[in-house]
Amino acid sequence: MWRTWTRRVPPGADQPPVRVTVVTTLPDRRLLLVHAHPDDESIGTGSTMAHYAATGAHVTLVTCTLGEEGEIHVPALAQLAADQADQLGGYRIAELEAACAALGVTDHRFLGGAGRYRDSGMMGLPTNQHPRAFWQADLDEAAGHLVEVIREVRPQVMITYDENGFYGHPDHIQAHRVAMRAHELAAAEGIAPAKVYWTAMPLSVLEAGLNHFAESSDNPFAGITDLSELPFGTPDPEIAACLDATEQHVAKETAMRAHATQIPATSWLYSIAGNFGAEFMGVEYFTLAVGAKGPGSGPYGWESDLFAGLPVGAPAGESADPGPAPDGPDRAPVAAAGPR
């Protein structure tokens, strides 16, 4: 991809601005994920991220908030809570950095910069009304921040949540809205990702879990007798892709354990992993919201590759605005997941 900037010249210099053309080399496959909080990437798409990173794709993670309103499962850190020192968000930057390292992902950004949008808390809480709450974000402004990322990395595939944010959290719903609006804005520039997937869980998988844990003491489905009582679940025929990355199940679990404030060591998530093994950690499912479904298999034609049907080595797109000029001829490398 060719990108051109005007290099800045110090005031008073007797030389004109210099136009600099930079060749930015990106891998043939480029994947963008839009998540609400630190830990969402690992729980929902960790194996997918690790799989594509390991196979040479450029994986970009955009996290919309710092997760300031999250629970704290480490007693020694309890005073970081939002109603005390309000320092949890900063701590979770480091957790996210460790998780990204476990997944092999080096390109992570916070939407609009770290701290631009605040965790809104669960639906209906007073924290939804915080002036910086992501739930209150101006849609076009927030989407504009995401379009800036799309211009830079030119992903062919984007992953986010469905219109209910998978389970109804306001920040997940807003992440969906922002991602889909950004896709619209990027389409107007001719740089929109060719395919957009939403995270999903097949009803058949949920039913297997419900049956398996029926008599268990750590049953995460306790009190639920019918799948319709759950806030999520997708009929199997509506699933578009099943990404089997069981070879990455250890990377996913390691990434999840990096989010120690949010996922205790005794979590039922690890219990399920212990009972179901690599399949639970390593297989992730998606519906296709935008784009044409590629070749698949099985009774419902599920894709096994999110890039299925896309031309190999699709161009990054030449028509977009190259963005602001850097201080020098080359952009600085993207930082990992935040300050140490």
Can you say which residues are annotated as belonging to the binding site for Zn(2+)? Answer: 37, 40, 172
Please enumerate, by residue number, every residue annotated as part of a binding site: 37, 40, 172
State the Cα–Cα distance between residues 248 and 48, nearest whole angstrom: 8
State the Cα–Cα distance between residues 12 and 29, nearest whole angstrom: 44
Q: With CA atoms as reference, report the closest residue to 158 among 194, 111, 112.
A: 194
Is residue 121 within 8 A of residue 89, CB to CB? The reply is: no
Instruction: Estimate the share of the chain in helix, then strand, then coil, as percent rounded to the nearest 5.
Output: 35, 15, 50
Using CA atoms, how far residue 80 sits from 24, 69, 202, 273, 294, in Å, is 41, 10, 37, 29, 46
Paired sense of beta strands 18-23 and 2-7, if any: antiparallel
Which residues, 6+ apart, have CB-to-CB distance to 166 below 8 Å?
44, 172, 198, 199, 200, 232
Using CA atoms, how far residue 278 sits from 47, 68, 124, 250, 302, in Å, is 10, 31, 36, 8, 20
The residue to which tokens 């043939």 are assigned: 28
Other Cβ atoms closer than 10 A to 142: 23
Measured at the CA of 220, the angle between CA 214 and CA 225, to 5 degrees, comes to 50
Other Cβ atoms closer than 10 A to 225: 9
The residue to which tokens 């320092």 are assigned: 87
Can you give the length of the chain in residues? 340
List the strands of the sheet with 157-160, edge to edge: 107-110, 58-63, 30-35, 157-160, 195-200, 283-290, 241-244
